[in-house]
Chains A and B, each alone.
Chain A
Amino acid sequence: MLELQAVNAYYGSFQALFDISLAVEQGEAVAVIGPNGAGKTTLLRVISGLVRAGDGTLTMEGKNLRTVPPHSIINLGVAHVPENRRLFPRMTVEDNLKIGAFTPSARKQFRERLKFVYELFPILAERCAQFAGTLSGGEQQMCAIARALMSNPKMLLMDEPSAGLAPVIVQQVFELVRQIREKGFTVLIVEQNIQQVLKVVDRAYLLEVGSIKASGSASELLGSEEIRKAYIGV
């Protein structure tokens, strides 16, 4: 579904990604794991066009992402749940969801999509008239995911959904990821919380200083001595 080949990305003269090749198949959940500053967020930003790739090929269902303007990438079925959620804090939950359905094709299905996300996250229906900034951390993450789902995407890019949340909420967030998978969405998730994320995805790539250092099934990586020592600390 999503394919990256030999992608390099730069911030000015600083190279953030080196020769990245990865693929996500339809219905899969794939994680990109790695330490802080490895380029995980940059990778997602390159896919959704916030950072333009320097070279390499990026395709979504065969369509070249590099020639599509950033605000049109959502039309190809890629929705990005950004780092730190980035809700509109002084707008109601429902207005936040409405922005998620901004594209012309999503507007037509607004009612159905709203019903869908409210069924998925009933707490949001209760809080629909509340400012998003007043939600708890976990609820905000739900709202951010729901906002992305409003565009009726095929694939969800999730950037550190567990960051900044209390440990007990982190558990719930990974439960959300599992729920979304069950609904049939393809997921590419970036996480520092390696042990947790590997329990809910099929495969993962290990990113270090801008390069992919390892890849494999979730269970392989969980069992890898090297990863356990370096990142899980067991």
Chain B
Amino acid sequence: MFDIYLLETIINGILLGGVLALLALGLNLIFGVIDVVWICYAELVMLGMYAIFFLYVKFGIPLILACLAGIAVVAVVGYLVHFLIISPILGTAPINQLLATGGLLFFLQSFTTLLFGIEFRNIGLRLPVLEVFGIYISFARLLAFCTALIGMIVLYFFLARTYIGTAIRAISQDREVMVLMGVNSRKIYLITSAIGGGLAGLAACLLVLQYDIHPAIGLSFGPITFMICVLGGLGNMLGGFIAAFIFSQIIAIGGFYTEIEWGYVIAFAVFIIMMFIRPQGILGSRS
């Protein structure tokens, strides 16, 4: 029997997967190149959402310009995260870098709470819901999906075609030898961090259309993003991409047959079970 609501659920799952894939890509890119997991990655998204909110709502800048500025702001934040926090401790035990970004997570949360308070804000823009053959699709989600996909394609061509992009891919395979080709690793790390920040900024543009902004909004995406990356194989961009859609389908379909909260419970349970079966992730090779 054909169930149109199930189809709608699957489509919504795919749309959700697009944004999650974008976030996972940013986190994987940084991990693949610098070997550091930015636990605070979703908090960068939160900063981007606030930046867009203030530029658009408080300063009246057109939304598209506010979004571009938001991407730029988070790219600069990404650059600074590496410059100020990761770079000085890059040579120390990996756990230190992990803990430092974990500390940054709480710092950013409490600092934004201090600055902006805990109230929920939104940009007050309500996009229409489209009806296609009896299926209801939120335009904001569709837009987010398409933009995320375009963002990922642009990144793919950047990594595949440019010299900097090729160096970014190469450095994740052999760090030390890069210097012999005249590549300044520190510069590549900073560029990668800025790109990772820019991707978080792009995600902020897409999420600000669908969600209220508050200091803890990062917690709605951070853990899922991290688990998607692990499920796909940390540092493996293709794995992360696939895992994002698997995860979003588990959430959507699991939620469809029970309740939406159950969708998340099932997804996290699947994650834990996967850690027993295939801890290196779907496409991962690390032990």
Q: A residues engaging B (CB < 8 A)?
A: 48-50, 69-75, 79-80, 82, 86, 88-91, 95-96, 98-103, 106-107, 147-148, 151
Contact = CB atoms under 8 A, between A and B. Distances in A.
Interface centre among A69, A82, A88, A96 (most CB of B within 10 A): A88
Contacts of B169: 88, 91, 95
Interface centre among B174, B179, B183, B184 (most CB of A within 10 A): B179
Interface in B19-71: none
Given A48-B180, A99-B181, 7 more contacts: A71-B178, A86-B177, A90-B173, A91-B170, A98-B166, A102-B183, A148-B180
A86 B174 contact: yes
B182 interface: yes
Contacts of B184: 69, 71
B167 interface: yes
A106 B167 CA distance: 14
Given A98-B163, A102-B167, A75 B179 contact: no
Contacts, number: 64
Contacts of B185: 71
Contacts of A151: 181-182
B173 A70 contact: no
Contact of A79 (B167, B173, B179, B180): B180
B3 interface: no
B163 A70 contact: no
A213 B169 CA distance: 43
A98 to B, nearest CB: 5
A73 B185 CA distance: 14
B119 interface: no
Contacts of B183: 71, 99, 102
Contacts of B173: 88-91
A99 B167 contact: yes
A12 to B, nearest CB: 14
Contact of A88 (B170, B179, B180, B182): B170
Contacts of B170: 88, 91, 95-96, 99
A123 B193 CA distance: 38
A95 B171 CA distance: 12
A194 B184 CA distance: 35
B131 interface: no
B181 A74 contact: yes
Interface centre among A71, A80, A82, A90 (most CB of B within 10 A): A71
B163 A102 contact: yes
B239 to A, nearest CB: 13
A74 B182 contact: yes
A82 B177 contact: yes
12 contacts: A48-B180, A71-B183, A71-B184, A72-B182, A90-B173, A91-B166, A91-B169, A98-B163, A99-B166, A99-B183, A102-B183, A103-B181
Contacts of A49: 179
Contacts of B176: 50
Contact of B182 (A86, A90, A103): A103
Closest 8 CB pairs of A and B: A74-B182, A103-B182, A86-B177, A88-B173, A71-B184, A80-B180, A88-B170, A70-B179
Contacts of A86: 174, 177
B189 to A, nearest CB: 13
Contact of B166 (A50, A80, A90, A95): A95
Contacts of A103: 181-182
A49 B179 CA distance: 9
